[in-house]
Homo-oligomer: A and B are copies of this chain.
Amino acid sequence: MNEVIETILSHRSVRKYQDKPLTNEQIHKIVESAQAASTSSYIQAYSIIGVKNQQTKNRLAELAGNQPYVAQNGHLLIFCADLHRHDVIAQIEGKDLSESLESAEKFMVALIDAALAAQNASVAAESMGLGICYIGGLRNQLQDVQELLKLPGRVLPLFGLTIGYPAADTDKKPRLPQANVYHEEVYEQDQNKFIEELKAYDEQISSYYNERTNGKRNDTWTGQMAHMLSNPTRMYMKEYVEKQGFNKK
Among A43, A48, A101, A108, find the residue whose CB has the most chain B CB atoms closer than 10 A: A108
What chain B residues lie within 8 Å of A85 (beta carbons)?
180, 198
Nearest CB in chain B: distance from A112 CB, A: 5
Name the one of B122, B152, B181, B230 contacting A46, with C-beta atoms under 8 angstroms.
Answer: B181
Q: Is there contact, CB below 8 Å, between A11 and B31?
A: no
Q: Give 1 or 0 for each of A180-213: 1 = CB within 8 Å of chain B CB.
A: 1111111101010011001000000000000000
| Residue A52 lies at the interface, judged by CB distance under 8 Å to chain B | yes
| Residue A216 lies at the interface, judged by CB distance under 8 Å to chain B | no
Q: Is there contact, CB below 8 Å, between B31 and A104?
A: no
Name the one of B97, B108, B158 contacting A230, with C-beta atoms under 8 angstroms.
Answer: B97
| Residue A163 lies at the interface, judged by CB distance under 8 Å to chain B | no
Q: How far is the CA of A234 from the CA of B100 in the complex (A)?
A: 9
What chain B residues lie within 8 Å of A225 (beta carbons)?
42-43, 86, 89
Q: How far is the CA of A159 from the CA of B105 in the complex (A)?
A: 12
Taking CB atoms and an 8 Å cut-off, the chain A residues in 32-88 that contact chain B are: 32-38, 40-44, 46-53, 56, 85-86, 88
Q: Is there contact, CB below 8 Å, between B238 and A103?
A: yes
Q: Is there contact, CB below 8 Å, between A47 and B183?
A: yes
| Residue A168 lies at the interface, judged by CB distance under 8 Å to chain B | no
Q: How far is the CA of A247 from the CA of B235 in the complex (A)?
A: 11
Name the one of B9, B44, B123, B136 contacting A32, with C-beta atoms under 8 angstroms.
Answer: B9
Q: Is there contact, CB below 8 Å, between B198 and A232?
A: no
Name the one of B42, B89, B124 contacting A8, with C-beta atoms under 8 angstroms.
Answer: B124
| Residue A167 lies at the interface, judged by CB distance under 8 Å to chain B | no
Known: A2-B128, A49-B186, A232-B99. A111 touches B109 (CB 8 A): no
Name the one of B111, B175, B230, B249 contacting A238, with C-beta atoms under 8 angstroms.
Answer: B249
The 9 A-B pairs with the shortest beta carbon distances in the complex, nearest first, are: A4-B127, A115-B115, A93-B226, A104-B238, A119-B119, A150-B186, A105-B234, A100-B229, A97-B229
Known: A4-B127, A49-B183, A50-B182. 12 other contacts (CB 8 A): A4-B4, A8-B36, A8-B37, A13-B38, A37-B119, A51-B185, A52-B184, A85-B180, A95-B229, A99-B232, A115-B115, A116-B122
A-B contact list, 12 entries, CB within 8 Å: A5-B33, A8-B36, A8-B124, A9-B32, A28-B178, A38-B132, A42-B221, A42-B224, A89-B229, A95-B230, A108-B158, A111-B112
